[in-house]
Structure 1
Amino acid sequence: MAKHIIFGAALAAALMLGGAQGALAQRKGGDVVIGISQAPPSLDAQITSAQASRNVTLHIFETLYARDENAKPVPELAEGVTVSPDGKTYVFPIRKDVTFHNGKKLDAADVVASLERYRKVGASPALVAAIDTIKASGEHEVTVTLKQAQSTFLDNLSSPRAPIAIYPASEAAKEAGKIEIIGTGPYKFVEYKPDSHVKLTRYDGYAPNPKGTGRDGFAGKKEAFLDTVTFRFMPEGGARTAALEAGQIQFNETVDGPTAKRLGTDNRFTIHKMVPFGLQVIKFNQAQAPANDVNFRLAVQAALDMEEIMAISYADIYQMDPSWLYPGSAFHSTVGSDKYNKHDLKLAKELLAKSSYKGGKVTFITDNLRPNVDTATLVQQKLKEIGVEVDISVADWPTVSKIGFTPTGWTFWTHGFGIEPYEGPGSVMAPWVNGLSQQAKDPEIDRIAAAFNAEMDEGKRKALYDAFQKHMYDAAVAMKAGNYGIFQASTSKLKNFKPYRIPRMWGVWLEP
């Protein structure tokens, strides 16, 4: 696997300074404004898998189980779990020290109502597909019975992708997108002004997990020192950087490589780096022609120069890698690498000739993030060489994500795929189960995913994951360009920050 990372000495020094902040004295108070590139399509955490939503909602809501720093499931609102010998019954004692932001005590009824709601409206229905029944077996105890044993059930329950957030029962009874934003997390909701910002304030009634020993992924001991956290929607990277330099924001969600190198030489700022942070993915809409034809999809897959896409879209920090999982994962695989990054225009034209595509424009949708627009533009240019005419449609993230989960109005869609490979193979498969992302059911994916979830033997699960990845390439279900990383920038007054899947604002504080 080739790696391409630009990382200068000055920037490295800045990062080392940033990593030494934990020894400083904690301080309560202060307001942090975070510049984020996209507005969240919803703050109803259960119904969206958008990164922009997670950035906000995982400060407000919590789950029964959460992922630790190494992405392993650990108790959060549950005290633990007892699993029956047949692997089908899970009994969760619920913590008794937790209150919602409206003052209501958390109990089993809230948990049952929240899990039942997710079964109806959750954005990742595959996470709860194995559940048969959910019941309150005590005031602070919930029993979940599965249809069959599932090796990934706690993984699913702790997923932050479209989290199975716990709401008050009164809110869990409401339709998707109609809830009041009431959670149990360290920060509570204040206001959401469309086209401007979301504001949160510290929840002084928050009960940190007594088993937590410090910040630990999405779990652990969450301590809120800041008075308020505001997520300001700023799609233009240059505007975010200018705002950081002017002191109008204290944290920039993402900066490009040259900006990171420049700011890294200024002691007013700290640069944070995380690689890989996501996969650059190009989806096909298989509900309509021409992408419902496997030869068309294979032709596109054969034509594209994935390294060119990554080098231009993420010039400063990327990795070429065929796996749909991150390096270091026990399930990381090179299966399908013979079809990855082919850039074979002759083969592409042969496959296209076998397809039903006989000319005409196809639509590529993308949000306005520069790497995604660059990816769409490069695909457009390359496909023109094999005779496919592509129109690019650019809109904000909420608009594009709404279109992308419908079966009409698009042929290609590109965006980051970050949380799924972090979670593991079950989560990488889940978006394709029942045709959720490709808009058409794929019986082979459904079969493999069901077998994977039911299989308890690790070796057999690895073989099933390899079969999934092979099918992704053999049928060109979707395409992966490569792994990308991110640079983030903050005021040097923000202490003890550590980059993760979201910009966690617990365990951090501001120096005056």
Structure 2
Amino acid sequence: MKRIALAVATTAVALMSVNGLAYAQTKGGIIDVATIGEPPTLDPMASTADLVGIVTQHMFETLYTFDAKWGATPLLAAALPTISDDGMTVTIPLRTGIKFHDDSVMTAADVVASLERWTKIATRGKQAGEVITGITATDDATVTITLSKPYAPLLALLSLNNAAAIIIPAANAAQDPLTSFIGTGPYKLQERVPDQYIQLVRFDGYQSLGGEIDGYGGARNQYLDEIRFVPVPDPNTRIGAAMAGQYDYVDQLPVESFQQITDGATEPVVLAPFGWPVFVMNTKEGLNSNILVRKAIQAALAPEDMMLAAFGSEDFFKIDAAWYPDSFNWHSETGTEAYKPLGDTEAAKALLAEAGYDGSPLRILTSRQYEFHYKMALVAQAYLEAAGFKVQMDVVEWATLTTNRADPALWDIYITHSPFLPEPSLMGIMSDTSPGWWATDAKHAAVEAFNAESDPAKRVELFVDVQKVIYEEVPAFKVGNFNALAAQNPALDGVTPAPWPYFWNAYLSE
């Protein structure tokens, strides 16, 4: 009988907590993990791509991470930070005796150098860097961050695994791009053969936290000898490989293949709801620097048809204008009137005429490695053309897309997706420097008020104003909510279903 692993993303339970397993864990073995492609980099500071975070979270660690309820929990830090009464001094105690993969010992100097690099290189680091006035080593085991004003998202930003505040040796922090991939994680890089595999092996000097497994937090046990990440860009190839049991874990399968996976040699892993697909607008230059053009796109798109084409069955998606589903305390319907499930072609035509559209191609940057992105793009193209746009589809490899989206001259819309993030300020559009480059007075007023407030209930109220500005200025178009599907070898145990799958604590049963 097949097991179906299901993780429900709510404010109460977002990751499945494993407090004890019913059978003994075995040490040893190698697993092969099929991913959607080749990561563009192994520097998690330099990319917000989920694929980069999935691989590199095994190699590098942050000061904090997320527990099973999406609360921040210590990882390389010894405890949650102490915050001054005025909210502008954040003191972080560090775990001692932590070794890097080169056997050097982590000190506060490494943490300071790493965080300074993060504020210069990572989009989320730059976001935090706008309010960080200093990062200093109080002593070898304490780091102090000073702020220009209270900043509630800082702890979540320090916890995330993409555009991540990883801690690396101070000597390597000057590297850009990173060429020495030395972290503190449970596995270290052994070999990378581009387009073939990334081989990680157990780091024998790793010092796990004690206690129970708790989401991404708690104990990180190194049962496996090796983890090999293998790029399999074609979704149909991933389906066939999952059915045949060719890999121990296959990530990002088209949800319509659920029954095929159920009948095959591996087990389906479903996360419901997983996240949202989003069309990001280039507000910096080109067609979408005109807000009326963005509003025309918002009016033209038909999310119901887009999601149906992408996911096939309403069992795997929901039409939802709110940026967070009703299972999250961030949920609100305020400001969502412009979201029309079947679009409004006539309104789009009127807005396009008002914008003075000259017939220039609207360039949509997408990839077929996430097949649902491409299917949504095809439906979007039809509705946009019906509204009067000339549409140019630029279909590239995912690694190329993550490179090209950094150049505002190359695209007008790019398609991506995200899990529902525990802190709204982790969303890419909240950063002025994230591709899309949304930076307006209205945004800044709403986001800065939200970020400065520490009271959780008041922050929920203030996020309503952020969502209103998103709909008024259209830096992005959230299409809906969707579930995600992966496949797992029945002999692979100890894997917690999660948005970014991880394989410490995993083992092969006898």
TM-score > 0.5 by shorter chain: yes
Identical positions, percent: 30
Task: Determine the structure 2 residue equivalent to 1:113.
Answer: 113
Q: 1:417 to 1:245 in 2, by over 3 A?
A: closer
Instruction: State the distance in 2 between where 1:19 and 1:289 align.
Output: 46
C-alpha contact 2:119 2:127 (8 A) present in aligned 1? no
Q: For 1:378-429, what per-residue CA distance to the aligned partner results, in whole angstroms no more than 9, with x for missing partners?
A: 11111111111101011111211222122112111111122xx32222223x
After TM superposition, the structure 1 stretch with the greater mean CA deviation from structure 2, 367-376 or 451-460, is 451-460
Task: Determine the structure 2 residue equivalent to 1:333.
Answer: 332
Aligned counterpart in structure 2 of residue 488 of structure 1, from 467, 486, 489 = 486
User: Pairwise mapping of residues 69-468 of structure 1 onto structure 2 (< 5 A)?
Assistant: 69-80=68-79, 81-124=81-124, 125-175=126-176, 177-210=177-210, 212-214=211-213, 216-266=214-264, 268-316=265-313, 317-342=316-341, 343-368=343-368, 369-418=370-419, 421-428=420-427, 431-434=429-432, 436-468=434-466
C-alpha contact 1:65 1:78 (8 A) present in aligned 2? yes
Where 1:375 maps in the other structure, the secondary structure is: helix
**How far has the Cα of 1:245 moved from its partner?**
4.2
Q: 1:328 to 1:202 in 2, by over 3 A?
A: same
Instruction: State the distance in 2 between where 1:141 and 1:258 align.
Output: 50
Where 2:324 maps in the other structure, the secondary structure is: coil
Flag structure 2 segments of 5+ consecutive residues without an equivalent: 7-15
Instruction: State the distance in 2 between where 1:271 and 1:135 align.
Output: 47
The alignment status of 1:469 with 2:467, answered yes or no, reads yes
C-alpha contact 1:295 1:351 (8 A) present in aligned 2? yes
Q: 1:414 to 1:23 in 2, by over 3 A?
A: same
C-alpha contact 1:132 1:145 (8 A) present in aligned 2? yes
Instruction: State the distance in 2 between where 1:24 and 1:445 align.
Output: 52
Instruction: State the distance in 1 between where 2:236 and 2:292 align.
Output: 41
Task: Determine the structure 1 residue equivalent to 2:13.
Answer: none
Q: For 1:117-160, what per-residue CA distance to the aligned partner results, in whole angstroms no more than 9, with x for missing partners?
A: 11111132113432111111111111111112222221222122
Task: Determine the structure 2 residue equivalent to 1:43.
Answer: 42
Q: For 1:184-209, what per-residue CA distance to the aligned partner results, in whole angstroms no more than 9, with x for missing partners?
A: 11111112221222110111211111
Q: 1:97 to 1:203 in 2, by over 3 A?
A: same
Instruction: State the distance in 2 between where 1:326 and 1:396 align.
Output: 30
**How far has the Cα of 1:336 moved from its partner?**
2.2
Instruction: State the distance in 2 between where 1:423 and 1:190 align.
Output: 33
Instruction: State the distance in 2 between where 1:304 and 1:86 align.
Output: 45
Instruction: State the distance in 2 between where 1:362 and 1:258 align.
Output: 30
Task: Determine the structure 2 residue equivalent to 1:4.
Answer: none
Instruction: State the distance in 1 between where 2:243 and 2:263 align.
Output: 13
Task: Determine the structure 1 residue equivalent to 2:32.
Answer: 33
C-alpha contact 1:341 1:481 (8 A) present in aligned 2? no
**How far has the Cα of 1:246 moved from its partner?**
4.1
Flag structure 1 segments of 5+ consecutive residues without an equivalent: 1-9
Q: 1:417 to 1:247 in 2, by over 3 A?
A: closer
Instruction: State the distance in 2 between where 1:65 and 1:23 align.
Output: 29
Where 1:398 maps in the other structure, the secondary structure is: helix
C-alpha contact 1:298 1:476 (8 A) present in aligned 2? yes
Task: Determine the structure 1 residue equivalent to 2:496.
Answer: 498
One-letter identity of the residue aligned with 2:178: K
**How far has the Cα of 1:19 moved from its partner?**
11
Where 1:45 maps in the other structure, the secondary structure is: coil
C-alpha contact 2:61 2:185 (8 A) present in aligned 1? yes
Instruction: State the distance in 2 between where 1:500 and 1:322 align.
Output: 24
C-alpha contact 2:242 2:261 (8 A) present in aligned 1? no
After TM superposition, the structure 1 stretch with the greater mean CA deviation from structure 2, 497-506 or 255-264, is 255-264
Task: Determine the structure 1 residue equivalent to 2:63.
Answer: 64
C-alpha contact 1:48 1:162 (8 A) present in aligned 2? yes
Instruction: State the distance in 2 between where 1:424 and 1:89 align.
Output: 21
One-letter identity of the residue aligned with 1:146: L
C-alpha contact 1:199 1:231 (8 A) present in aligned 2? yes
Which contiguous aligned blocks of 4+ residues in structure 1 show a shift greater than 6 angstroms? Answer: 18-21
Instruction: State the distance in 2 between where 1:435 and 1:106 align.
Output: 30
C-alpha contact 1:452 1:461 (8 A) present in aligned 2? yes
One-letter identity of the residue aligned with 2:302: D
After TM superposition, the structure 1 stretch with the greater mean CA deviation from structure 2, 336-345 or 130-139, is 336-345
Q: 1:243 to 1:262 in 2, by over 3 A?
A: closer
**How far has the Cα of 1:359 moved from its partner?**
1.5
Aligned-residue RMSD, C-alpha: 2.0
